[in-house]
Amino acid sequence: MNIEKYSLGVGDRFGFEGAAQLRALQKAQAFGIDIVPVWNKSNREHNIIGTVPEDTRKAADTAVKTCNWKSSYYVDADHIGLATVDRFIPSCNFFTIDVADYIGNQTTSESVSAFVKDMSRFVGTLEIPGIHQPVAVTTGTVMDIAGKYLYAVDEAGKVYRHIAERKGADNFIAEVSFDEANNPQTPAELFFILAAIAREGIPIQTIAPKFTGSFLKGIDYVGNVGRFAQEFEDDLAVVAHAVNVFHLPSNLKLSVHSGSDKFSLYPVMYAAMRKFNSGIHLKTAGTTWLEELIGLAASGGDGLKAAKEIYVEAMKRYDELCKPYLPVIDIKKEMLPTPQHVASWSAEEYVAALQHNQSSSAYNLHLRQLLHVSFKVAAEMNGTFVSLLAECRTAIESNVTYNLFSRHIEPLFLGRSNGGSHD
């Protein structure tokens, strides 16, 4: 099983928006860009909502049927490890093996020595085609990287083999992710991590490093875009070089997660992908639930009422709802509108505050982040929320498709500027 050049994370908290997302990919096809969907839902998300991996598989199969989707599609066991992988094995064919927590764990001095010996041919100046600066490598560099990452890669190998034994090595895509690490990996680190992964025999097709800057939930990238661009290009160069040197799968590509609306990065990513003729895997799925809220609010009546109630409840349960996401949100409480104020809003006012349109002065990124992490409130409304989703289906689907196509696919894959508001 080989993943295509371009792939995009889809799926959503409640599992109803697959068809509307696929329509965005079908629009891209009409422009000559083939992007395959990867339904992703993490273990944490399943636990908060009370769903199981089979539900994601069903949502994917249903959407594919509804839209008569002819290309490949995948279901991702997102951010799993040995402790959590088992229940994902029957329904998933893409596994994001997350070993960030193992970075820095002590490995044996024998395995460090063996790695350093194997890598001695790279000591000196490492010439990587397309990289901004040649990478100077000493024995010390390799030892440090081995000390920091070998344990984690070893763990990734265990998880990979655990899945391969149960599923068959040809029946799934393996990704290894380090994006939830504390610090970005340097080009040298990424190069030797890939070396270690190749030695471990993991045929990875996507790798998720950590990038510089802050990737917060539901809002734009916070950081130095120029620095990101350089780092991203260097990572593309390293991946392409490592594929040749270590005989990794030739379709190996970068996977960019963490945060959902990386709007300011899309133009530089587009340019870099053109420059290196490289593929990409992009995860974006988390904000689809906000498009559902926008659709509810835009529909007025009971939909708007429910959207307001969810905000009132989110304010009441602020600490509880934010707690699991504290490292990936940055909400200034004083910038949040009061529940009384929100209660007085028209449909247009609610939509304008929540919709990710940075050129609008009504857009409130604090409210957007709070609502992003408040899907639990909607999940607890059970039947009420689900029947409202059905009632407001037309408005919701048009927002979901528009958001994915115009705000994500157009800038990242077609090199066209960002969609702004939907009207």
Which residue is closest to Zn ion by CB?
257
Rounded to a whole number of angstroms, the minimum distance from the CB of residue 255 to Zn ion is 8
Q: Which is nearer to Zn ion, 69 or 94 (CB)?
A: 94
Rounded to a whole number of angstroms, the minimum distance from the CB of residue 220 to Zn ion is 17
Q: Which is nearer to Zn ion, 49 or 351 (CB)?
A: 49
Rounded to a whole number of angstroms, the minimum distance from the CB of residue 257 to Zn ion is 3
Distance CA 201, CA 179 (A): 21
Rounded to a whole number of angstroms, the minimum distance from the CB of residue 210 to Zn ion is 9
Q: Which is nearer to Zn ion, 179 or 235 (CB)?
A: 179
Q: Which stretch binds Zn ion (CB under 5 A): 83-91, 113-121, 237-245, 250-258?
A: 250-258
Q: Which stretch binds Zn ion (CB under 5 A): 172-180, 245-253, 296-304, 351-359?
A: 172-180
Q: Which is nearer to Zn ion, 78 or 313 (CB)?
A: 78
Rounded to a whole number of angstroms, the minimum distance from the CB of residue 100 to Zn ion is 8
Rounded to a whole number of angstroms, the minimum distance from the CB of residue 284 to Zn ion is 12
Q: Is 179 in the site for Zn ion (CB under 5 A)?
A: yes
Q: Which is nearer to Zn ion, 141 or 206 (CB)?
A: 206
In the region spanning residues 5 to 44, those forming contacts with Zn ion, defined by CB under 5 A, are none
In the region spanning residues 285 to 314, those forming contacts with Zn ion, defined by CB under 5 A, are none
Query: Which residues have CB under 8 Å from 373's CB, separation 6+?
Result: 217, 321, 322, 324, 325, 329
Distance CA 14, CA 389 (A): 10
- CA 202 to chain centroid, in Å, comes to 21
Distance CA 122, CA 423 (A): 55
- Closest-CA residue to 25 (of 415, 357, 403, 288): 403
Q: Which is nearer to Zn ion, 179 or 397 (CB)?
A: 179
SS (H, E, C) 2-59: CCCCEEEEECCCCCCCHHHHHHHHHHHHHCCCCCEEEEEEEHHHHHHHCCCHHHHHHH
Q: Which is nearer to Zn ion, 96 or 299 (CB)?
A: 96
Q: Which stretch binds Zn ion (CB under 5 A): 175-183, 294-302, 313-321, 358-366?
A: 175-183
Strand partners, 253: 206
Rounded to a whole number of angstroms, the minimum distance from the CB of residue 342 to Zn ion is 31
Rounded to a whole number of angstroms, the minimum distance from the CB of residue 208 to Zn ion is 6
Q: Is 257 in the site for Zn ion (CB under 5 A)?
A: yes
Contact 286, 217 (CB under 8 A): yes
Distance CA 93, CA 75 (A): 6
Distance CA 209, CA 231 (A): 11
Distance CA 309, CA 297 (A): 11
Number of residues that bind Zn ion (CB under 5 A): 2
Tokens found for residue 24:
């965005």
Q: Is 220 in the site for Zn ion (CB under 5 A)?
A: no
Quote the Cα angle for 11-292-344, to 5°. Answer: 155
Q: Which stretch binds Zn ion (CB under 5 A): 209-217, 255-263, 272-280, 401-409?
A: 255-263
Residue 328's Cβ-side half-sphere holds a number of Cα atoms within 13 Å equal to: 20
Q: Which is nearer to Zn ion, 257 or 408 (CB)?
A: 257
Work out whether strand 173-177 and strand 135-137 pair parallel, antiparallel, or are unpaired.
unpaired
Q: Which is nearer to Zn ion, 284 or 299 (CB)?
A: 284
Q: Which stretch binds Zn ion (CB under 5 A): 63-71, 198-206, 254-262, 263-271?
A: 254-262
- The footprint of Zn ion (CB under 5 A) covers 179, 257
